[in-house]
Amino acid sequence: MARILLVEDDPALSRGIIALLKAAGHAADIAKDGETSLFLADAEPYSLVVLDIGLPDISGFEVLKRLRARGCKTPILVLTARDHVTDRVKGLDLGADDYLLKPFDASELCARVRALLRRDHGDPCPVLVIGNLTIDRARATAEVSGRPLQLRRREWAVLDRLTAKAGEVVSKERLIAEVFNYDDAVAPNAIEVHIARLRRKLEPDGPAIRTMRGLGYMLKAS
């Protein structure tokens, strides 16, 4: 569904959050300190940053400040154990899009992630309809003419990206960047394999995925 950067130095918590994000179909990378997060945020096309305030080198507030000063417009969800109004106000004033206090419920984290991603895509509704195809992003499900599609995690992620840009060309490079993690070993034909599987599952009455030679792929809008 999206490429997400988690900035968190607690190993147990970061493993739990990454597991949640991947279960929801997202690709997720971890930065264990502020400087690494700044490097990755510049190098990769993230759709969301989940940022802890208490980091071992520079504070999450400083990371937030530097990202916004660089012109980064990626939505940022701040995680913190500091239950002080002044800290929440500081984070929001520095450019945070949302705030979540530790400890938090897994379902609330996932809901806030979904809401920020919908807001960033300019689509507040979690359900998208393209012809006979219906995608429910909140539930990570898709169906064609009422027929549920059995999708693997990366097939879902590719379909979600194409659906979000229905009628537009999405390059292979963009799909790779948004679907795979930073340290994934990506086969040269990985996207082609997922596209081929999706085409079979969308047939015969779902929207077509067109290959635009030298450009990428496009899900027909009608």
3-state secondary structure of 16: helix
pLDDT at 34: 95
Nearest residue to 182 via CA among 50, 47, 28:
28
Whether residue 54 contacts residue 12, with contact meaning beta carbons closer than 8 Å, is answered with no
Residue ranges per structural domain of the chain: 3-120, 127-219
pLDDT tens profile 20-74 = 898 888 889 999 999 999 999 988 889 899 999 999 999 999 999 999 998 888 9
Question: Which fold would CATH assign to domain 127-219?
Answer: Arc Repressor Mutant, subunit A (1.10.10)
- 122 pLDDT band, cuts 50/70/90, is low
CATH topology of domain 3-120: Rossmann fold (3.40.50)
Whole-prediction pTM: 0.69
